[in-house]
Each structure stands twice: as structure tokens, then as C-alpha cells.
Structure 1
Amino acid sequence: MTAMAEFLGSAWWLIVSLGVLVSIHEYGHFWVARRCGVKVLRFSIGFGKPLWMRRGRDGTEYVIAAIPLGGYVKMLDENQLPESPSGHGTLSEQELEQSFNRKPVWKRIAIVAAGPVANLALCVALLWAMFVIGRPDYAPVVGQSERIAAEAGLQPGDTVLAVGDRATPTWSEVQMALVPAALDRADVTLRVADSEGRERSVDLPLDRLPEDFDERNAVGVIGLLPRHQQPPALVGQVQPEGAAWGVLAEGDLITAIDGVPIHSWSDIGPEVQKLGERGGTAMIEVERDDERLALEIQPRLTRSEDGRQFWALGVISPNGGRAPKDALLRYGPLQAVPAAFAEAGHQAGELFAMIGRAFTGRVSIENTVAGPITIARAANAFAGQGLAWYLSILAMLSLSLGILNLLPIPILDGGHLLYYLIELVKGSPVSERVMAAGQYVGLALIAGLMGLAFYNDIVNNLVP
């Protein structure tokens, strides 16, 4: 049931996200085309058979189609129509004036560029809304420090104030700043404050990362575990007929098992397994109502839903073992304006840098190109955390769509812009033969990119 709910949720949020992004992108083309005097024949959200269609007073057909994975704006163009909209074999004088191909090159550039620009503008607007609403997150506090992080001097309880020149008010910002540095194996300086508020600088020598480290767990490989991933060993519920029934109570804070200190919920499992394999009873120490108690307990062998056996006490943590979010990334309406532009600029820079890493082989391609399954699952997961989180991933997707469409690949907006720039330089349009060859090259590149995206989806999401 959970898997089905996740599937349906992912499909729904993928459709919603693509619907928003495509609508804004195509509306950018549509709006500028109309202002440049070009007749728009059809404005379609989706491809294939129309599910809904209405013809406006301007003669434009507004369509919602069956396949919700894109959209298009069809403009009057004498090079693409065998007949005029009025049914004649040639275009009338009025239709020629409204034809896209008859417009000056600067107007064609404006119309084509309007789609990606609309997505970039949407990205800024979404980030502004996210900042104003406020995105709940976790404080950037170190819970555990090992390997490179420990050797550099990071200690549990340190608050990461900045990574390089990027402020890190939440743990998400810490991750987003550390991952690119790890991929480049570039040493980075952290500004941190200890539990008493004393600030200092810590240099992380990321050039010491192994060559084949897990890029999706770069922060963990560095040796950093945030505090929120170490929730206190607080008992939220005692299962009837479990080993702890009648021994522990809701609200107990487990501090030690068989003399071994317990600092977080994740410490309980390994100690219980050791205790069960050794056999017999042991003392479990807890704090209850400001009292310290030592209670006798014996784990019981339990079988999970998949048939795996393990030793358990029969206790459940509050919130499923997750710590409550204790930070809020938020700005006032005016402060959010420059913050949104700055964040959009930063994310754009990181996107270009990631593309560069992929082409130079500094990052594996399967972690660079995401397909619809990955996007759908991410959209579902972000939406589950609240509106602000969903706006943040929608902004990132809008930015990606805008920038990727500007790449000089034929059949994309960037490819058409390249043709028009060449036309500006040489003083005449690119020949039909060159454009046809470009279309084939563009189709091959896009097909290869889509194939890679689907392959990455299968490997990262469907292969056990």
C-alpha cells in the first residue's frame, strides 16, 4: 500500500510540476510572439490527442492534450504550412505580415528566448515565495565527526556558520556547499562556532577524498553526521508483549545498556543485538521524571516483515526516529527579493559547474542526468515536507529547464538562437540544408540524453 501511495504521489507531482513549468515556458513564447505581431495558431499543454480545446477570439486554439510531458506554441510560418489557415494555397498579405519567418531577426530572437527567460523569472519568483513562507529545516549542528572532518578539528556540537563564502543557516545549505567542493576535491574553509559561541575557522582538506567515493554521500564520506540524524534515545511507545513491556515507559530517556553509554536512538540497535547474542538479562539505565533508574531487561528475538530475525526491546521512538526540525530559512518580503536573485544565480552557477564536471569526467554521468522517475520521486518527497520545500524543487527544475533550453543544440530554443545569431553575422538566414542537418543532429543528441536519463532512472531507482 505504501509503495502504491508513493507511486501515485510521485506521478501526480510530476504531472503538476511539468504542467506548471511547461505552461510558463510556452506562455513566454506566446506572450512575446503576440506583442511582436505574430499570429499564434495553437497553444498546447501536452502532446497527442486534445482532451480539451477552445478557440479564442484571436483565433488561437488553446489545448490540453493527453500526454502531459511537454507542450508547444504553434505560430503562423509560411515555411511550415502547406496552406494558409484560411484554406488557400498561399498566405494573404495580412497573414504574411503575421508570419513568424517574415519578422525581423531581433523579433524572432526575442520570441525564442522568451520561453527560457520565463522559466528563469519563474525560478526567482518561486524562490522569493519560498523565502517569504519560510522553509523548515535542521540547524547546521555537527552530531558526529570522523575521518577528514575529525582530523580537521570539527567536533560534535559545532555549528557550521559558513562554508567558504556561503552562509549556511541550515544543514541543507551545508550539504549544498560541501558537495561541489567534494566533487572538485577542493580544500574549503568552514567558519564554525562551538557550543559556547566561540567562532573559529576549520580547513577541510578535501583533496584527500578517495578517487571512487560515493558522490551521493559526499558529506558522509567527509565524516560529518548532523545532529538531527542522531535523535535522543527517547521512548515514544512500548509495544505490548515486547521485552520492554512493564519495564520501560513512554517518555523514558535511555542513557545506557549493559554499562555502554547511549547517546542517540541509533546506538540502541547494535547494543541490543550484542546483548541478545550473549544471552541473559542486563541492566538498562533510563531517566524518568528527573530520576535515574537501572532496570533489568532481556531482549526478545523478533522477526521482521521480510523474514529477517533480530533482537529487539519492543520500543518505538517518537516521530519514527527523526528529530523535529529546529531551524527556519525565512526572510521578509523585501529581504527575500535580493535573496531570491542571489540564490538563483548561485544555483545557475552550480548547474553550469555540474555540466562541466560531467563533460570532463570529474563526476559520474549517472549522478548528473536525472530522468522522469527520479524527478517524480524527488517532487513527491519535497511536496511531503510542505509548500516551501516543494517551491524550492520547482524553482530548481524551472531553472534547469530554462538553462538547458538555452544550450546551442538544434531543436532546442538555444539551437534556434544560434541560427539567428549566425543570420545576424552573415546577413542572411541559414540554408535549409544546414537547418535540416542540424535537426537530425539535435534529435540524435536529445534521444541520447533521454536514453541516458531513463537508464539512470532504472539503475538508481529500480535496480535493487
Structure 2
Amino acid sequence: MLDTAAISLDSIFTFGIDMFVFLLGLAVLIFVHELGHFLIARKCGVVVEKFSLGFGPKLAGFKQGGTEYLIAAIPLGGYVKMKGEDPGEELADTTGSFSHANVYHRLAIAFGGPLFNILFAILIYVIVYMNGVPALGTTVGMVRDDSPALAAGLETGDRIVEVNGETIRFWDQLLEIVHDAPGQPMQFVIEKNGKRLVEKNITPVSEEITNLWGEKENVGLIGITPLVRRIANIEEGSPADQAGLLKGDLLLEVDNTPIRGWQDLKTAAMDKPGEELNVTVRRDDGLTYDLKLTPKPEKIKDETGKDVTIGVLGLGLSGEMEVEQYGLFGSMWRSVEETWKLTHLIAVSVKKMIFGSVSAENIGGPIMIFQFYGQQAEQGFNQVIRLTALLSINLGLINLFPIPILDGGHILFFLIEIIKGKPVSERSRERAAQVGLFMILGLMVFAFYNDIMRIMN
């Protein structure tokens, strides 16, 4: 039996906020998508009979300009109902009918939803970059033994400010430049002790790494990692919380091991489950504090599927951050760049899932999206709208899949019509729609299964 007394008011309040943010984000994405279909349909002279947010029973609505605008009970979708949208529908007057519209107009209407999702993501990123977003800076953490960086004299705490005459502010910039230049001598400008600038000639060596999709590739590396040691968050009731660690603390040492990043923390603490450890932190008041921390033993499966015991700390770390901020035109350019990068990343990930090189276990459904919204809501508005932008790109791309009942399926039929010079037969479309519905339902069931298994594990 559920013990309702064990459910705190704070938990109920947090769940309510997370649910509100989730439903609001979902409603906005659906509205933007359907708005794309709606506006382009109106522009093409097609009559829109209904504009609905959600499915199922009508909760509220009104009628204006020949269109009924309504909110339905189930908020996991939405639709635009156009006159003559059903090819089998008998019309006394075909004026403004979708099925009797020019094929290029129908193609534009089908493409409108995904297009507006992409444009919406660009708009969000314009706002984000005008407002400013934290990005990992170029302060050096660990310098690997026998690396080009060590040979050049780089040390923990140095900041890379320029490479080959190009100003460098963010770690991603640095990675991109170095990765693309194995074996090529490069001139680095390094800031030491926060003021003194020195020039260093460093040649990246070619090394094999594992990319986002678990594939091996050769890139240029100089043997450094970013300085990551500021505590970004503490889980309530965790070993870190019980030890008295606070958000914002600089984690200096664990059992006399200097902390420069996650690898140091793993060696010094996570690999020592159940052991009492001495932790030294520096706080905003400039003072250092010595605390006792005991990592909680927890069994997990390693990369080979073998059970291993690690020490759970219950904290998150962040690096030395810089604010990435631009004016209007700079934000527009950066937002297009970011949207394109994420679009390409999602498209490649989906392709690799289809061909089996990336596990389909990564597919998530509404439960995972709800969890993501809850996590980002704790980090602030900026993080919530960035997640909304990412999901908007996802929604746009998924709807372009050539699956009947999705926009991509309609687009495919219209392209075939353009090539053949006549519409695809109604019978063929009905059969394809049945197959498409089966595929979508199967994908939804699989996504829910993955969500539930993630919770159980």
C-alpha cells in the first residue's frame, strides 16, 4: 500500500512544477508545428476548419473566420483539419479544398509544420545568445604525461587565449581547432597566473578517440583536459550533502589528491566505496575547509556488462565558465550555426539507430521528456528554453520521416504525384496509412518501454 505520509509537500510541489513546465513546453511545440501548417494553408487559399491543441474531447474553444480553434483533453499532440483533406470526402464546392489544391501548395502545407519547428528553434537560440549562456572556458586542468602540452610547459590553471592568431574563449572552439590539425605546428598564446601572456609552439599528435556514437576516429590532441572542480549541484541526502559540501565550493583535494577533473575525482573517491575520505574545499569567502566524505557503495554494470561496485558521491561538477553573448546579428548567425549542428547530430543519430550502430535503448518517450524538463527547470529558464529548442528540432525532423500519417509521408506522396503527373491512388494511401499507424504505435510502445526500464534500473 502507498504510504501517503511519506510523500512530502515539497515533493508534490516539485512534481506539480515539473508537470506544468512539461505540459507547457509540449503545448508550445505542438502549437508552433500546427501554426506552420495553418499559416501556409491560409496563404495557399486552403480553408482550415479546425485548429486543435491536443486530441480527444473538447475542453474549450471558439470560432472565428471560418476556423474553430479548440483545446482538447489529451495534450500529446494536435492537428489542423482542412476542408477536403480526406480524398474520399464529397464536396459540393471544392473552392478552398486541400485535396483540390495545386500539388505544390499541398507540398508546402505539409512541409510547413517541420519548417516552423526549425525556425522556432532558431528564434529560441537568438534569445538565448542575446541573453548570454554559460560555456566551458579554456582553463587547463590535467596535463597528461608525455604529451605535447607538457613538453611545451602548460600547467594546471593556465588559460589558452589564442591559437594561430584566432581568439579562443570556449573549450569547444579549442577542441575543434586542435582536432582538425593533427601533425600541424600551432602557435598558442597562454595566460599564466591570470596576467602574464606567453607564446608556445605545440604540435597536436594524431590519436584514436571514441566519438559520441561509440565509433573510433583519429583526431589531433595535445594532452590536456579542462579544469572541472566547482560543485554545481548537490543531491539532497547524498554522501556529499551529509559531508557538508555546498554548491559553489571549489573541490581542491581528496585524500591529498589534487582535483582537476572527473578522472581525478574518480581515482580519489569514486573508486573507494565505503572509505572515509578527507576532502578540502575553498568557498566564496576565500577560506579552505576540511571535511569528511564517505562514498556510498552502489553496484552498476560496466561497459562489458559486468557488475562492479563504485562509490556514489551525489554531486555534480562544472568547469571555469565564460558567458557566450552576442548582439542581434551575432546571435542570429550563432543560432543558425547551433541549430544546424544539432539538426545534423540528431539526423546522424537516427540514421545510426536505424542501421544498428547505436542502441535503440536511447529512444525515449513522454516520461523521459518529462524528466528532462524537470531537471532543466531546476537549472533555470535558460536551460528550459534550450531543451525546448532541441525538442523542436527533434519534432521537426521526426515529422519529415517518410512514414505515412507523418508529414514526411504526405511529402513523399506529393513528390510521387509530381513525378508521375497524377495522385497516388486512394487505396494505396489507405494501405500505407495503416502501415504507418502500426509503425508509429509500435515506436510509441517501445519508447514507453524504454522509459519504464530506465526508471526501474
Please, what TM-score do these two structures have when normalized by structure 2?
A: 0.70
Paired residue secondary structure (1:206): strand
CA contact (8 A) 2:37 2:109 kept: yes
CA contact (8 A) 1:190 1:203 kept: no
Give matches, 1:410-425, under 5 Å.
410-425=404-419
- Name the structure 2 match of 1:91: 91
Aligned pair partner of 1:362 in 357, 364, 375: 357
C-alpha distance in 2 between matches for 1:285 and 1:98:
69
Structure showing the higher strand proportion among its residues: 2
43-52 or 197-206, larger mean C-alpha shift: 197-206
Aligned pair partner of 1:68 in 68, 75, 78: 75
Query: Does structure 1 residue 384 correspond to structure 2 residue 378?
Result: yes
426-435 or 376-385, larger mean C-alpha shift: 376-385
Query: Does structure 1 residue 46 correspond to structure 2 residue 44?
Result: no
- Name the structure 2 match of 1:402: 396
- Name the structure 1 match of 2:344: 349
- Name the structure 2 match of 1:33: 41
C-alpha distance in 1 between matches for 2:392 and 2:253:
49
The code of the aligned residue for 2:96 comes to Q
Equivalenced residue count is: 400
Change (3 A) 1:76 1:202: same
- Name the structure 1 match of 2:229: 229
Which structure 1 segments of 5+ residues have no match? 83-89, 182-186, 216-222, 233-241, 245-250, 307-315
Change (3 A) 1:422 1:330: same
Change (3 A) 1:363 1:427: same
The code of the aligned residue for 1:363 comes to V
CA contact (8 A) 1:39 1:75 kept: yes
1:254-292 superposed Cα distances (whole Å, 9 cap, x missing partner): 97788x355579869968x99x9799xx99999999999
The code of the aligned residue for 1:361 comes to G
Shift of 1:212: 11
Aligned pair partner of 1:451 in 445, 450, 453: 445
The code of the aligned residue for 2:23 comes to I
Shift of 1:79: 3.7
C-alpha distance in 2 between matches for 1:415 and 1:224:
47
1:341-360 superposed Cα distances (whole Å, 9 cap, x missing partner): 12212222222221222233
Shift of 1:395: 1.4
Paired residue secondary structure (1:378): helix
Shift of 1:8: 3.2
Query: Does structure 1 residue 462 correspond to structure 2 residue 433?
Result: no
Which structure 2 segments of 5+ residues have no match? 1-7, 217-222, 233-241, 299-312
The code of the aligned residue for 1:76 comes to K
Shift of 1:127: 1.1
CA contact (8 A) 1:78 1:91 kept: no
Q: CA RMSD in A?
A: 5.0
The code of the aligned residue for 2:394 comes to S
Which protein has the larger Cα radius of gyration, Structure 1 or Structure 2?
A: 1
Shift of 1:206: 2.9
- Name the structure 1 match of 2:301: none
CA contact (8 A) 2:253 2:281 kept: yes
CA contact (8 A) 1:158 1:194 kept: yes
Paired residue secondary structure (1:97): coil
Shift of 1:403: 1.4
Aligned pair partner of 2:137 in 128, 135, 139: 139
CA contact (8 A) 1:143 1:230 kept: no
429-438 or 378-387, larger mean C-alpha shift: 378-387
- Name the structure 1 match of 2:334: 339
C-alpha distance in 1 between matches for 2:281 and 2:393:
52
CA contact (8 A) 1:257 1:285 kept: no
The code of the aligned residue for 2:450 comes to N
CA contact (8 A) 2:141 2:260 kept: no
C-alpha distance in 1 between matches for 2:120 and 2:249:
48
- The percent of aligned pairs where both chains have the same amino acid is 32
Change (3 A) 1:47 1:413: same
CA contact (8 A) 1:119 1:399 kept: yes
